[in-house]
Each structure stands twice: as structure tokens, then as C-alpha cells.
Amino acid sequence: MIHKLIEKIKKTGAPIVVGLDPMLGYIPEHITAAAYAEHGETLEGAAEAVWQYNKGIVDAVCDLVPAVKPQIAMYEQFGVEGLAAFEKTVRYCHEKGLLVIGDVKRGDIGSTSEAYAVGHLGKVRVGSRLCGGFNEDFVTVNPYLGSDGVKPFMKVCKEEKKGLFVLVKTSNPSSGEFQDQSVNGKPLYELVGEKVAAWGEELMGDTYSYVGAVVGATYPEMGKALRKVMPKAFILVPGYGAQGGKGADLVHFFNADGLGAIVNSSRGIIAAYKQEKYASYGSENYAEASRQAVLDMREDIQTALRR
């Protein structure tokens, strides 16, 4: 799957992931009104609104980007109905030729981690049959429990040729509380980065590993250091746009081959119509505003990389 991701990045010229994190507050009123009219102000109604909103965005951007990253929490908040919308979104993105990174940040141990892995990336055995669950192409994984938590995911990735992004240095302000703590003279995130590199060696594609990392755009200097620690890991970079990261900050997340990083933007794209810059589209044309925001982000990153 890492091959496919690289191929698609080259084809689109856009190392960009669209974060499908549909908060209800982002969804234009004509969509929520229609969904509530049909299903009431219920979890079903919310799930329907989320799905229709996503569909519009996916249709508008699917030829421009290699991948989307639905944040499962935004679906899980609506319970089983929300998770059905998550599943439907994954399926639809696949139909439209997009790769899907499930931003699930799961992390447990042994058979429990394996259960998450088969549920999201693989197939689960039921009697004599194998059944698919959510079927993403990549997922994000939390490393706090160590190798016992990550290896079961790697096992499933190997079988299914899918991939992981392990949290190394997250984009949020308090990420340093534990991640920046100094362990034998180097920060914990670097130790985690070294582990990611070691795990990655066990599961290599041609030039990049199936085991990638998450490093926030909001910490460009740390990104620069981690790029060297994990030369063969693809880095998923959140925090661009709404969280403050800019194109120029991203340069050091990439390798000399112009690859090795993929930058996520969520709110900045899916709710672009709410920004002054794109307000002229109006909420009815929210998806076209999202398309323009992707084009602008591609330009910003390409310009930075050309320097």
C-alpha cells in the first residue's frame, strides 16, 4: 500500500491528505436540515448529515489528492450509527480511487491489538469464513504500550500489504509533557522514532517502509531531527493550516527525493467555505471551496519544496 501511496503522490503532485473530520458545526445547514427532516435530530440524522457532507467533499477533491484521513472519533461520537457512516465513507473513498488512512490512534496489547488490526486493516475469521470490517488502507497507532502493541498491527500489515503511522511527536501544545522528556540525553519522541525505524526495517517496501510515523507540522525543528532518525519512514504530518503549520515549515519533513511526507489538513479544507478567503463560494458550494483550498495548499507546498 505504501507503493500505491507513493505512486499516487507522484501522479497528483500533492503530498496531501484531506482530513475527513466532520464536526456537525462544519456541515452546511442545507445538508443537516435535509438529514434531520428525514431521520429527526437523532444519531441517524447526524450520521446521514456527516455522510452527505463527506460525499460532496470526496467528489470534489478525489482527482486532486492521493488519500483521505477520516478521524474516527468524529464518527464514534454518534455511536453505532456514526460508525456506519465511517464505514460507508471508507467504502466510497475506495470507489473514488482514494487511499484511506483511518485516524484511529488505537493501541493495546497482544490479541487485543490484533483484534483492532484485523477490524481496521484485515479480515476476521468467523467460523470457516473471513470477513472484512472497516477496511482502511493505513491506520494510526499509539506507541505507549511498546512493541506488544505495535507488532500485532505489523503482522496484519504484512499479510494484507497495508500500513501504519505510529504517533511519535503529536501536533498539540501539550505533546511535550511526556514526549519531550529527556531519556538518557535525548527526548522520548526520538526514542520512539528509533523504534519506528527499527520496526520499519522488518516491513520494508522498495524504498519506504510500511511503518510510518506521525510528526506534527507545528514542530518543524523536531521534524527535521526525526526525518534523519527514521529515513525510511513516511511521515504523516498533521497540524497544517488551522493548527498553525505553514508550507515553509514542512520542507524538512521531506527527503531529498521529494517524498517521505504527506501533509494532512482537515478543517482548513473541509470547512474552507467558512474562511473569509473562500466565503464567496457560499455554503451551498462548500465542496468547491474545499477543492480550491486543496489547490491552494498544493501550491503552497510545491512552492516551499521548490526553494
Q: Which residues are catalytic?
A: 105
For position 129 contacting a second copy by CB under 8 A, the verdict is yes
What is the C-alpha to C-alpha distance for residues 1 and 137, in angstroms, rounded to an integer? Answer: 7
- Contact track, a second copy, 241-270, x by CB under 8 A: ------------------------------
Site string for a second copy, 69-108 (x = CB under 8 A): --x-xx-xxxxx-xxx--x-----------------xxxx
Tell me which residue of 21, 13, 3, 171 sits closest to 99, measured CA to CA. 3
Residues 180-199 interacting with a second copy (rule: CB under 8 A): 181-184, 188, 191-192, 195
Q: Which one of 6-14, 56-64, 128-136, 292-300 is the stretch in contact with a second copy (CB under 8 A)? A: 128-136
User: Alpha-carbon distance 72 to 159, whole Å?
Assistant: 24
Q: What single DSSP character describes residue 245?
A: B
Size of the site for a second copy (CB under 8 A): 73
Cα separation, 89 vs 53, in Å, equals 10
285 binds a second copy (CB under 8 A): no
3-state secondary structure of 124: strand
CA–CA separation, 162 and 172 (whole Å): 27
Verify binding: residue 283, a second copy, rule CB under 8 A: no
Q: What is the rounded CA–CA span in Å between residue 265 and residue 243? A: 9
71 secondary structure, DSSP code: B
Asked whether position 167 contacts a second copy by CB under 8 A, the answer is yes
Q: Whole-number minimum distance, CB 207 to a second copy, in Å?
A: 27
Please identify, among the stretches 51-59, 91-99, 131-139, 251-259, the one whose residues bind a second copy according to the rule CB under 8 A.
Answer: 131-139
